[in-house]
Amino acid sequence: MAIKQTANTIILEMGSADSDDIKDLRYGEGKLFKKIAKTIENLKDEGHVEENAQPIIVVVKKK
C-alpha cells in the first residue's frame, strides 16, 4: 500500500546529527532545532506552506 504525499506534507532530510543534538532537539533547543525552525520559517515566508502549519519531527536512527 503506497501513501501519497499531499500538498501539506513536508519532509525534510536534515542529514546526520550526534546524540547530543538529538537530545537537545527533544527539549526544543539546540542547533538542530534552530535549523528546523529556520527551514520551516523560510518555507512559510516563500508561501510553500500555510502560516498555521504545524510541523511533526521524526528522528530516524540508522542501524
Can you give the residue ranges of every domain in the chain? 18-63
* Residue for grid cell 543534538: 21
The confidence score (pLDDT) of residue 6 equals 58
Helix crossing, 19-26 with 31-45: angle to 10°? 60
Tell whether the torsion through CA atoms of 39, 42, 48 and 52 is positive or negative.
Answer: positive
Determine the Cα–Cα distance for residues 48 and 27; give it in Å rounded to an integer.
Answer: 27
The confidence score (pLDDT) of residue 31 equals 92
* Reported confidence tier of residue 3, pLDDT bands at 50, 70, 90: low
- Cα–Cα separations (whole angstroms), residue 30 to 1, 8, 25, 35: 37, 26, 6, 9
The confidence score (pLDDT) of residue 24 equals 92
Determine the Cα–Cα distance for residues 16 and 38; give it in Å rounded to an integer.
Answer: 17
